[in-house]
Amino acid sequence: MALFFDQEWFDAKLKTKGRTRDDVAAALRLSREQVDEVFKDQRELSSNHVTMLARLLEEPITEVVSRAGIATPTPAPKSPGDSAAVLAKLDEMEQRLIRMERAIADLQSLIIATRPLG
């Protein structure tokens, strides 16, 4: 993820599509100066602008958001070994919970059994 607006990426994508920043300005209904401010990371993009820019560049919205520096980084997927460790820990916790529930049931039975009648 870019921490700031990735001007080089956007310019490269525009060039690949045969587009210019003037095309961006027209699509976003902004002035060329406002688009230049966006590219310099001096102006925020609205969600509508991101959608329009993604359409113009024919790129996924998530990629545009990330390259515009407005996305929260997504945690990297865990390795398969991590999943096995998590599942083993969950199984261990489930077994402990079962033992605790049995202990509580036993205590409840003892309490009931030791109550005086009447």
pLDDT digits (tens, 9 = 90+) for 19-31: 999 999 999 999 9
What 8-state DSSP symbol labels residue 115? S
Q: In the numeric block, which tokens belong to residue 105?
A: 């049931």
pLDDT at 59: 93
| Beta strands in 41-103, from DSSP E residues, in sequence order | none
Residue 28, phi then psi, degrees to nearest 5:
-90, -5
Identify the CATH number of the domain defined by range 7-67. 1.10.260.40
pTM: 0.58
**Domain residue spans of the chain:** 7-67, 75-118
Residues in the chain: 118
For residue 72, give Cα distances in angstroms to 1, 51, 52, 67, 77: 8, 17, 20, 11, 15
Q: Does pLDDT of 114 surpass 70?
A: yes
Distance CA 90, CA 85 (A): 9
**Contact indicator for 73, 2 with CB cutoff of 8 Å:** no
Name which residue leads in pLDDT, 114 or 21: 21
Mean pLDDT of 71-85: 65
Q: How confident is the model at residue 93 (pLDDT cuts 50, 70, 90)?
A: very high
> Span 78-95, mean pLDDT?
81
